[in-house]
């Protein structure tokens, strides 16, 4: 199958690409720069050179047998384009979002009552596609996992902030918890769900790509500090925005959910992730995003 993966050049993207190529699929991806195009060719991916996601979809959406795309990149124009291209075709359209866009302390994606605007956008995008009889599913990634659209996943943004400020930080006692997932397990789930859409008519359409395991924001900050050889500091809530900026509210939340239903439905069993290893390996790929 010809599959458009809207970013195949970062760490998670390369893992997904490798799995899909091994299954015999042809992978295409936008390449906004020459280095990214060269890197895609090295991975065995056909680059759509000098194009953004929107430009690539505008020109070629109907030519692909499946698309994997982050909901954060889908505006109204792209949603209408995807709806037109995939309506009544049964072609898989796999949407990616984040557990960070869910309300606090939910049990599973399909039982959530969305409260954040971003989460509602992801939900609304999927519902509109389903209303048009499009074969779609939604996967929510752990906030620690770099997403497919950009190297600036939450974990990597925290690395950038620590590098800029000269220390790694957490707010107050740092006892709020975040779900995590090993990138390889996230890639496995993306492949499993896409294969399910291709070969079956799944009754379950929302999945959580997380391990049933969490870390405190303090322990995440310490891991980043050790990785960068920088000190780790607790900062007061009153000055947190000076360090974290737009991530301040996110850093105060308990981002915990369950993947039990996902695991049972797909026989997917994520291992306990090693955040230090994920940082070390994924840092190589940041330059290509």
Cβ neighbors of 258 (< 8 A, separation 6 or more) are: 106, 107, 108, 208, 210, 212
More confident residue, 287 or 13: 13
> What angle do the packed helices 11-22 and 275-282 form, to 10 degrees?
90
We report the CATH number of the domain holding residue 216 as 3.40.50.720
Q: For residue 10, what pLDDT is reported?
A: 77
Q: What is the mean pLDDT of the chain?
A: 83
Q: Is the pLDDT of residue 150 over 90?
A: no
Confidence label for 65 from pLDDT (cuts 50, 70 and 90): very high
Exposure of 92 by Cβ count < 10 A (0-12 exposed, 13-18 middle, 19+ buried)? buried
Residue 156 has pLDDT above 80, yes or no: no
Q: Which domain holds residue 8?
A: 2-288
Q: CB–CB of 234/170 below 8 Å?
A: yes
The residues, ordered by sequence, that sit 6+ positions from 280 with a Cβ below 8 Å of its Cβ are 227
State the pLDDT at residue 273.
63
Residue 284's pLDDT is: 36
- 200-244 pLDDT tens trace: 989 999 999 988 777 889 988 998 898 899 999 999 999 999 999
Q: In this predicted model, which residue has the larger pLDDT, 142 or 14?
A: 14
Question: Which tokens hold the place of 106?
Answer: 């939910």
User: Which whole number is the average pLDDT over 13-25?
Assistant: 95
Residue 278's pLDDT is 56
Q: Give, to the nearest 10 degrees, the angle between helix 76-86 and helix 117-131.
A: 30
CA distances in angstroms from 274 to 74, 83, 225, listed in the order given: 31, 39, 15
Query: pLDDT digit string (tens) for 173-205?
Result: 999 988 888 888 999 999 999 999 999 989 999
With a cut of 60, say whether residue 277 has pLDDT above it.
no
- Report yes or no: 51 and 30 within 8 Å, Cβ to Cβ: yes
Please state the domain count of the chain.
Answer: 1
Dist. CA 20–CA 245, nearest whole Å:
37
pTM of the entire structure? 0.82
Whether 76 shows a pLDDT value over 80: the answer reads: yes
The count of residues in the chain is 289
């Amino acid at each position: 199958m010809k599959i458009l993966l809207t970013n195949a050049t970062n760490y998670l993207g390369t893992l997904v690409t490798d799995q899909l190529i091994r299954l015999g699929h042809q992978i295409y991806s936008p390449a906004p720069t020459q280095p990214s195009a060269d890197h895609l060719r090295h991975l065995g991916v056909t680059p759509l050179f000098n194009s953004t996601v929107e430009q690539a979809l505008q020109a070629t959406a109907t030519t692909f047998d499946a698309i994997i795309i982050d909901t954060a990149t889908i505006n109204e124009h792209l949603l209408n384009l995807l709806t037109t291209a995939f309506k009544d075709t049964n072609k898989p359209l796999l949407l990616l979002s984040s557990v960070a866009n869910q309300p606090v302390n939910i049990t599973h994606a399909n039982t959530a009552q969305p409260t954040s605007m971003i989460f509602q956008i992801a939900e609304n995008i999927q519902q509109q596609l389903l209303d048009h009889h499009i074969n779609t599913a939604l996967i929510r990634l752990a906030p620690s996992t770099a997403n497919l659209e950009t190297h600036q996943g939450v974990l990597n943004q925290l690395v950038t902030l620590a590098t800029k400020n000269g220390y790694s930080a957490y707010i107050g006692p740092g006892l709020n918890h975040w779900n995590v997932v090993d990138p390889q397990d996230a890639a496995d789930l993306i492949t499993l769900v896409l294969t399910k859409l291709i070969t079956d008519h799944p009754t379950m359409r929302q999945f959580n790509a997380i391990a049933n395991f969490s870390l405190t924001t303090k322990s995440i900050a310490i891991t980043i500090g050790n990785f960068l050889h920088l000190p780790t500091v607790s900062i007061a809530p009153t000055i947190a925005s000076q360090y974290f900026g737009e991530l301040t509210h996110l850093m105060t939340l308990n981002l915990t959910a369950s993947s039990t239903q996902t695991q049972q439905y797909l026989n997917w069993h994520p291992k306990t992730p090693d955040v230090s290893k994920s940082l070390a390996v994924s840092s190589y790929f940041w330059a290509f995003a």
